[in-house]
């Protein structure tokens, strides 16, 4: 476990760099130069060097914001640990813990948003809640099914597809960045944040992208039958590539609307889940 934590620390230190690469890739598609790849690190250093500004809500608000980040850090470490053995070797217990951690992090994020006396923040919180309801339950089911060691090819493929879609939603990118939606809600859930607290929220946002990319890679590792060192190597190499793929997808799309997003996700994931249920029942 110790070496997993060491690898996790290295991976987490690289996550802001991946985010910097994302900004560079997006800029390239935009025909811009873009900021340096270390810009996210520079941003974090700057934000944490600023004075602490506590918004309305006081200590409770601060606690929730920090707890959200710590929960995501724990979930990320768990994910990196799983990557050292491969998703096929992960236990149901580890999967459940991961699902609970991400669920707690999402709940904290929503609590943070709706506890503010700011209509944009509250609206963002409700949007986050709607998205979570339409994606994370499906993510949980598909993850548990894959970890449970189901062998049927069709079931594995459908579960993997559900997981890939839900993992992308977790990343909070376009078209599912509706909780923040800068031009609509003036940053929505983050509107009251500044200085170190904004830094904490930024770390959380980067970690969500990290979890999204790593989870996606783990699905391919599972389907590829990799485990142990090969799994770890694959995750280390493919995570930034997946991150960039997510970036390209998000750059080529527009922002959805909460009703459209929920309808699309719920319809798509519900149909896929129904197919999964049938294929699992038939053992194919």
Partner 1 sequence: MKDEVRTIVEKIGGVVEEVKKSEIYVRIPQQTVRTAARLLYDSEAYFKTCVGVDEREVNGFYTIYHIFGLDSQGVDIVLKVLVPEEDPQTSSIVSEVPAADWCELEIQDLLGIKFGGRLTKRLVLPEDWPDGVYPLRKEFRYDEKPSRVIREELHEEAGIPVGPYHPALHEPEYFELYVEGEKVVDVAYRGFHVHRGIEKLAESPRFTYKQVPFLAERICGICGFVHSTCYIMAVEKAADIETPERAEFIRSIVLEVERLHSHLLWIGVAAHLLGYDAGFMHAWRIREHVMVLAEYLTGSRKTYGINVIGGVRKDLNVDKIDKTMKTIAQVREEFKKLADALLSIPQIKSRAVGTGVLTKSEARALSVVGPVARASGLYRDVRKDYPYLAYGRVSFRVPLYTEGDNLARLLVRVEEVFESIEIVKQLVDLLPGGSVVVEEYDIPPGRKAVAAIEAPRGEDVHFVITGLGRPYRWRVRAPTYQNIPALRAMLRGTPLADAPLTIASIDPCFSCTDRVLVVDIETGRKSFIKLVRGG
260 binds partner 1 (CB under 8 A): yes
Q: How far is the CB of 30 from partner 1 (least distance, A)?
A: 4
Q: Does 33 bind partner 1 (CB under 8 A)?
A: no
- The yes or no reply on residue 155 touching partner 1 (CB under 8 A) is no
| Residue of 37, 194, 227, 257 that binds partner 1 (CB under 8 A) | 257
Among 54, 97, 184, 280, binds partner 1 (CB under 8 A): 184
In 3D, which of 187, 199, 175 has the Cα closest to residue 16? Answer: 199
The burial of 97, by beta-carbon neighbours within 10 Å (0-12 exposed, 13-18 middle, 19 or more buried), is given as middle
Binding partner 1 (rule: CB under 8 A), the pick from 9, 92, 229, 253 is 253
Query: Can residue 278 be called a binding residue for partner 1 (CB under 8 A)?
Result: no
177 binds partner 1, rule: CB under 8 A = yes
Least distance in angstroms from the C-beta of 33 to partner 1: 12
**Shortest Cβ 132–partner 1 spacing (Å):** 16
In the list 5, 9, 10, 30, the residue contacting partner 1 (rule: CB under 8 A) is: 30
At its nearest, how many Å lie between partner 1 and the CB of residue 172? Answer: 12
Kindly tell me which residue out of 120, 129, 168, 243 binds partner 1, with binding defined by CB under 8 A.
120
**Minimum CB distance to partner 1 smaller for 22 or for 68:** 22
- Taking CB under 8 A as the binding criterion, the range among 13-21, 72-80, 95-103, 173-181 that sits at the site for partner 1 is 173-181
State how far the Cα of 76 lies from the Cα of 74, in Å rounded to an integer.
5
Does the protein bind partner 1 through residue 28 (CB under 8 A)? no
Least distance to partner 1, CB of residue 111, Å: 20
């Amino acid at each position: 476990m110790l070496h997993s934590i060491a690898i996790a620390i290295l991976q987490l230190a690289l996550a802001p760099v991946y985010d910097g690469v994302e900004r560079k890739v997006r800029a390239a598609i935009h025909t811009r130069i873009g900021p340096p790849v270390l810009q996210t690190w520079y941003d974090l250093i700057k934000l944490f060097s600023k004075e602490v500004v506590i918004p309305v809500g006081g200590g409770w608000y601060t606690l929730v914001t920090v707890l959200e980040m710590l929960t995501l850090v724990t979930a990320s470490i768990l994910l990196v640990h799983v990557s050292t053995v491969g998703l096929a070797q992960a236990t149901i217990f580890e999967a459940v813990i991961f699902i609970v951690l991400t669920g707690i992090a999402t709940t904290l994020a929503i609590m943070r948003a709706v506890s503010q006396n700011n209509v944009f923040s509250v609206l963002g919180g409700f949007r986050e809640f709607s998205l979570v309801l339409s994606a994370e339950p499906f993510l949980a089911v598909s993850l548990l099914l894959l970890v449970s060691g189901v062998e049927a090819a069709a079931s594995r493929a459908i579960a993997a597809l559900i997981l890939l879609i839900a993992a992308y939603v977790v990343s909070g990118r376009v078209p599912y960045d509706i909780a923040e939606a800068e031009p609509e809600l003036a940053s929505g859930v983050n509107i009251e944040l500044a200085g170190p607290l904004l830094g904490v929220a930024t770390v959380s946002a980067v970690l969500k992208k990290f979890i999204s990319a790593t989870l996606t890679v783990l699905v391919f590792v599972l389907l590829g039958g990799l485990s142990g060192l090969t799994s770890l190597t694959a995750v280390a190499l493919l995570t930034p590539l997946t991150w960039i793929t997510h970036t390209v997808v998000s750059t080529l799309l527009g922002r959805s609307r909460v009703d459209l997003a929920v309808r699309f996700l719920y319809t798509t994931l519900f149909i896929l889940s129904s197919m999964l249920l049938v294929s699992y029942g038939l053992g194919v």
